[in-house]
Amino acid sequence: MKLIAHPFDGDKRKLREFIENLDVVFELVNPSKHDILLMFVRAKIIGDARSKLMVRDLTHSWELVRSILKENCAIRHTLDYYTCKVFSAIQQKRKHSFVGKQNRRVRLA
């Protein structure tokens, strides 16, 4: 099916695009055809992502499949990740502040 060009294998970097594309497809397709479309969608989910779906019984709607994919394949950042991001931002701010002070001193001299 051309509406679903690429299979989804559980790659966290491609999850958002896959879900957004399918959200659009489900909006465009007549609701009476959603069951057939969902069969195509499940066929396009491969690898680890397919394994995660097969463990669950609740895959009879796109909303349920989407939530399972998000739950199992989304990028999750740890507290350490966010701590490092904040620390890095603070260091950048201090660096720019220091450079600004140095530039003002040079101009004053």
Please give the share of the chain, as a percent, with pLDDT higher than 90: 42
CA 81 to chain centroid: 17
Please give the share of the chain, as a percent, with pLDDT higher than 70: 81
Residue 14, pLDDT > 60, answer: yes
Residue 102, pLDDT > 60, answer: no
Domains of the chain by residue range: 12-73, 77-109
User: How buried is 69 (Cβ within 10 angstroms: 0-12 exposed, 13-18 middle, 19+ buried)?
Assistant: buried
User: How buried is 31 (Cβ within 10 angstroms: 0-12 exposed, 13-18 middle, 19+ buried)?
Assistant: exposed
Q: 103 falls in which pLDDT band (50, 70, 90)?
A: low
Q: 43-92: per-residue pLDDT in tens?
A: 999 998 998 888 877 788 999 999 999 988 887 767 776 777 787 888 87
DSSP 20-89: HHHHHHHHHS-GGGHHHHHHHHHHHB-HHHHHHHHH-S--SSHHHHHHHHHHHHS----HHHHHHHHHHH
